[in-house]
Amino acid sequence: MAKINFGGVEEEVVTREEFPLEKAREVLKDETIAILGYGVQGPGQALNLKDNGFNVIVGQRKGSKTWDKAVADGWVPGKTLFELEEACEKGTILQFLLSDAGQIAFWPTLKKYLKPGKTLYFSHGFGITYKDQTGIEPPVDVDVILVAPKGSGTSLRRLFLEGKGLNSSFAVHQDASGKAREKVIALGIGVGSGYLFETNFIKEVTSDLTGERGSLMGAIQGLFAAQYDLLRKKGHSPSEAFNETVEEATESLYPLIAENGMDWMYANCSTTAQRGALDWWKKFRDAVAPVFEDLYDSVKTGNEAKITIESNSKSDYREKLEKELDELRESEMWQAGRKVRELRP
């Protein structure tokens, strides 16, 4: 592992320099990696592993849309694509990539295939951390590991095809074989990670749920909506409100942050913009800090897990979810956004 200084804090990370792809292939040369689920993370991880030269099969329900997607992606029924149970039987490393709700439903079946010596792999700490609610508690004679790419499976695949990588965390929950750490790092390299940083299952799910509800998704939508609504109320047109709220952020400013940091983005804006941003950012930080405290406590106590599990277990969950997404999709702000995107040159 390489020691890197992160803003004055030294941290050990794994890069492709000290753990190259060739070493990862050697570590996993005798393993059959079964990807269980072909939804959000499954396609990206499966295809990247396959393209990197690992022995990969996919398990998915026959006749489902995701089965058809797997076929379209080149997985061959009966050779590299199987029903979930058969993939569990054939795999030595079982990458449990069903949704959190799907994992709860399938767990009673999966645990029958966890024979001594097998490896159970997660990309989210949810099932293990909240075992009192999920019922997911693996036997002690299997390795239990985690590689969590910090982004969607779509981004993982896209960056891989561009010759880049998406950073991932990794963790070892159980090391029955004595080789779990070596295996998890090899898998992290194999799925296309940029670099790997170590965590544990509890920290992964706590930071992940906080981020999704916070600055990655929930808070950013709330911020966009508040500013857009204010500008519209004050008489600004939809085009002006959307461009000043979302379009300039995503198309111009956020890429500068990704390129070289917030100060770099500030430096590429007018002195008037810089002055205003420097004067106001701490006010926003202080305003939302109590909300983030409430959010973190809700995650840490398991309340967010409880809400998720109860919601996802209802028979009409998908229907209600679509209605909530429609509320976003059909709002004036995102209708304006659709038109703005159409007008891009």
- Which residues are known to be catalytic? 124
Paired residues of 166 in beta bridges: 193
Rounded to whole angstroms, the Cα distance separating 213 from 197 reads 22
Tokens of 178: 């004595």
Tokens of 7: 């803003």
Do residues 50 and 44 touch, judged by C-beta distance below 8 A? no
Tracing tokens 């770099």 back to the chain, one arrives at 264
Instruction: Report the candidate in 151, 280, 288 with the shortest Cα–Cα distance to residue 219.
Output: 288
Q: How does DSSP classify residue 316?
A: T
Rounded to whole angstroms, the Cα distance separating 23 from 15 reads 12
Rounded to whole angstroms, the Cα distance separating 319 from 341 reads 28
